[in-house]
Amino acid sequence: MSRGPKISPCRPARGGSWAAEREPLYPAFLAGVLSASRSARAIQVAQCAVGALSVWLFFFLARRLLDERGALLAAALFALHPQYLFYAATPMRETFQAALLLLGFLALSRAAAAPSARAYALAGAAAALAPLTNSAFLPWALGAAPLGVLWVHRGRREALVWAAAFLAAAAPLYGTWVARNYARFDTLVLGATTGGGGNLYMYLIIPNDVAGTPEQTRLAEADPVLRELAGLGLSHVESDRWLYKKAVARIAREPGRFLGLCAGRFVKLWRPIPYKRDYGHNW
């Protein structure tokens, strides 16, 4: 990445093709850093700066719930979390998306404290940034958050107006990505084509205790469904949808095993000390 040509996140690289393998904001962030310095160290510095900003955002958010001493302690624990430190040093989107998610939470809390249509419109715009980095946050930004606005201000006539102002800002901003994908692929792609189907199916065939190890590669290469997919010649969009259907069918056949995998993954995700794994594989 540090030695290659400058790559625009919006246009295909030379010899490449249009894709939606990743939501747009983090690639745009990397492109901005690399346009200033073609150095992997520059990416680390930028990541750490975003991480430091996140600690301040976390502090300001915590201070709305706790006193200043409690907020400082909470921010210190957040800043020193081992996995947070790990991701700050890698060219992965976790640190960047954490900052945008905290920004959305902070904007929402400020709007709730001093509600107005303008405040909630700004909060909606801020909330749309996290799913533009990772569409896993889309149900929060366009679902849970506006419902939360209605619940927090239940009994007030303005609640519906404020929730509508939130959605009026959030939906069109995120919609630019959906519109771009529809224009390029002539089909609906809400998030990224390396998301739902691919990750869901891979998670079903890779046990928690071998994810991120060489055994994962061996299991993936031996899997009959993935071997069948390799010979179909499908596009990224078609491949993701094909794998999603296969994953849903497998879950329907083995619902108990799926629930067990979910429980194990939850425990693994919240383990305070990182495993010795290749964290390019997050499942």
Nearest to 116 by CA among 147, 80, 161: 161
Plot region of 155 (φ>0 → left; ψ -120 to 50 → alpha; else → beta): left
Q: pLDDT tens across 109-156, in order? A: 999 999 999 999 999 999 999 999 998 899 999 999 999 999 999 989
Q: Is the pLDDT score of 280 beyond 90?
A: no
- What does the alpha-carbon distance between residue 33 and residue 46 come to, in Å, rounded to a whole number? 7
Give rounded-to-5 percent helix, strand, coil for the chain.
70, 0, 30
Residue 130 is encoded by which pair of tokens? 């996290």
- pTM of the full structure: 0.79
pLDDT at 283: 39
Residue 123, judged by CB atoms within 10 A of its CB (0-12, 13-18, 19+), counts as buried
Q: pLDDT tens across 217-262, in order? A: 888 889 999 999 888 888 778 888 889 899 999 999 999 988 988 8
**How confident is the model over 52-79, as a mean pLDDT?**
93
**How confident is the model over 158-172, as a mean pLDDT?**
96
Residue 267 is encoded by which pair of tokens? 């425990």
Residue 118 is encoded by which pair of tokens? 């303008």
Q: Is the dihedral of CA 224, 225, 227, 228 positive or negative?
A: positive
Q: Give the H/E segment covering residue 197.
A: helix 196-205
Sequence-distant (6+) residues with CB within 8 A of 97 are 26, 130, 133, 134, 137
Q: Is the pLDDT score of 8 beyond 50?
A: no
Please give the backbone phi and psi of residue 130, each rounded to the nearest 5 degrees, phi first: -65, -50
Using pLDDT thresholds of 50, 70 and 90, give the confidence band for residue 266.
confident
